[in-house]
């Protein structure tokens, strides 16, 4: 790697430490999805093992790390903005700056060529090398790079360093083999590989011992999980059976290969939340084909029908507006299908081209930004109407809520989430309660995003 020599950290005091141990202070920010949060927990564990310490205050840090996302343009822009903020401080104090994760993997050449103040660049499969790279940067003025993709790395046997709380997540697999044309994940996280089930179940037991009551299982396409005779349905049931686990969620399945056994597990296991995140992206067959999604609108509808037949299961989804070549009529097909299905919630995005994807190589990003914005707003407003209608249907019913803590607006109120992952707020009563408690709440009012009620006596 080329670039200007590193400045030694001038603000560091002399430290007494064991051979191979650091003692340096690290400040880390995480951008993107739950998988990135989980990766940051892996990074904290690896660095703490080598004696690095973490601080919530960037002005105390010797090392600044950004764990990044490459999926959305907004995430890119936020990272660039944060990097610029530390340029002067790096010169003044000799900070070591590292960029980790998907953006580091996908834009490695650009970042090292144009952001010469970056000292360490590490992709999602290179975290085991991070402690040594940071020590070289801090003490030997060497820049470091670890951006090779792995066919095998799952970070097995590394215990993530997690914050306290009742919610925890476990990555059950890494990478993706789907190669949707808009998606950069196969190029930033590599090919699909699954963790062994014993390690996952052991991690679930450890989470329970730390006070976690709700676990979310993570993977780019959890339907594809395979380890020997284990598929994802079997794994989901096994995690749900761990004593002390009250709720299990998972993100995300793919509509093209949703096995009946997984649907049975969701519908029948008492600990598995009755919510399925089923990304649609588009309802038009031509656009779906261009996206490389592997299903048609008709096949998606059939899956929704099968899910509905299993009982009161709630659906959420992802939508991309303004994909390459999308016409107004093709967009309207998506709008109409959303009306028909009635999702509880939707994550809606304007299409933004990502480097190295199939779409970037094969198609023209030709839908004007103004049109993308208009379509996105239309879907967002439609989803608000649907969410409000669905939440109002719950008025007068009792929902079981996992208490998480005080309401953001008042210490006189509790807040938590229902099984269907809707926020619920209610006044405190005289009973002593703790985060993780399951509380019956009678719903009295509703907004598109929140239910309001009181404890059912």
Residues that constitute the known binding site for [4Fe-4S] cluster? 33, 69, 102, 176, 180, 183
Query: Which residues have CB under 8 Å from 112's CB, separation 6+?
Result: 1, 2, 3, 118, 121, 145
Q: Following DSSP, what letter does each residue of 184-210 receive, concatenated?
A: -HHHHT-S-EE--HHHHHHHHHHHHHT
Contact call for residues 127 and 135 (beta carbons, < 8 A): no
Question: Is there a contact between 236 and 269 (Cβ–Cβ < 8 Å)?
Answer: yes
Angle at 63 between CA 61 and CA 68, to 5 degrees: 115
Q: What does the DSSP 8-state code read for residue 356?
A: T
* Per-position b or e across 349-368, b if 16+ CB within 10 A of its CB: bbbbebeebbbbeebebebe
The binding site comprises 33, 69, 102, 176, 180, 183
Question: Residues 285, 334: contact at Cβ < 8 Å?
Answer: no
Torsion of CA 128, 133, 134, 137, to 10 degrees: 180
How far apart, in whole angstroms, are the C-alpha atoms of residue 10 and residue 25?
Answer: 13
Q: How far is CA 166 from the centre of its chain?
A: 17
Rounded Cα distance between 87 and 83, Å, is 7
Give the DSSP per-residue string, 295-332: --HHHHHHHHHHHHHTSS-EEEEEEEES-TT--HHHHH
Q: Taking Cα atoms as reference points, which of 251, 247, 302, 311 lies closest to residue 276?
A: 251
Element (H, E) at 455: strand 450-455
Q: How many CA atoms lie within 13 A of 438 on its CB side?
A: 12
């Amino acid at each position: 790697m080329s670039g200007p020599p590193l400045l030694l950290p001038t603000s560091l005091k002399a430290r007494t430490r064991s051979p191979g141990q650091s003692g340096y202070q690290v400040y880390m920010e995480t951008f993107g999805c739950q998988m990135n949060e989980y990766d940051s927990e892996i990074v904290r564990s690896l660095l703490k093992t080598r004696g690095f310490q973490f601080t919530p205050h960037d002005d105390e840090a010797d090392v600044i790390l950004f764990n990044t996302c490459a999926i959305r343009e907004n995430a890119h822009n936020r990272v660039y903005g944060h990097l610029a903020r530390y340029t002067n401080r790096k010169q003044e104090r000799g900070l070591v700056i590292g960029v980790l994760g998907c953006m580091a993997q996908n834009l490695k050449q650009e970042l090292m060529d144009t952001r010469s103040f970056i000292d360490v660049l590490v992709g999602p499969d290179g975290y085991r090398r991070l402690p040594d790279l940071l020590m070289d940067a801090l003490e030997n003025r060497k820049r470091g790079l670890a951006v090779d993709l792995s066919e095998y790395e799952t970070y097995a046997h590394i215990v993530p360093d997690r914050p306290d709380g009742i919610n925890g997540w476990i990555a059950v697999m890494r990478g993706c083999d789907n190669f949707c044309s808009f998606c950069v994940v196969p190029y930033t996280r590599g090919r699909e590989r699954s963790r062994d089930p014993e390690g996952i179940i052991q991690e679930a037991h450890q989470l329970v011992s730390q006070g976690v009551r709700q676990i979310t299982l993570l993977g780019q396409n959890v339907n594809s999980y395979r380890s020997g005779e284990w598929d994802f349905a079997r794994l989901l049931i096994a995690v749900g059976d761990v004593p002390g686990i009250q709720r299990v969620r998972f993100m995300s399945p793919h509509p093209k290969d949703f096995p009946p056994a997984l649907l049975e597990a969701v519908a029948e296991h008492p600990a598995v939340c009755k919510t399925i995140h089923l990304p649609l992206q588009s309802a038009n067959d031509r656009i779906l084909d261009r996206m490389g999604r592997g299903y048609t609108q008709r096949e998606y509808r059939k899956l929704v029908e099968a899910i509905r037949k299993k009982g009161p299961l709630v659906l959420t989804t992802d939508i991309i507006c303004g994909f390459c070549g999308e016409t107004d009529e093709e967009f309207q097909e998506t709008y109409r299908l959303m009306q028909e299905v009635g999702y509880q919630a939707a994550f809606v995005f304007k299409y933004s081209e990502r480097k190295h994807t199939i779409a970037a190589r094969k198609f023209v990003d030709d839908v004007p930004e103004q049109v993308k914005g208009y379509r996105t707003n239309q879907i967002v407003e439609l989803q608000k109407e649907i969410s409000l209608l669905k939440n109002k249907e719950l008025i007068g019913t009792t929902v079981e809520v996992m208490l998480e803590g005080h309401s953001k607006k008042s210490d006189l109120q509790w807040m938590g989430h229902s099984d269907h992952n809707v926020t619920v707020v209610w006044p405190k009563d005289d009973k002593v309660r703790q985060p993780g408690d399951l509380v019956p709440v009678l719903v009295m009012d509703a907004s598109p995003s929140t239910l309001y009620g009181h404890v059912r006596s």
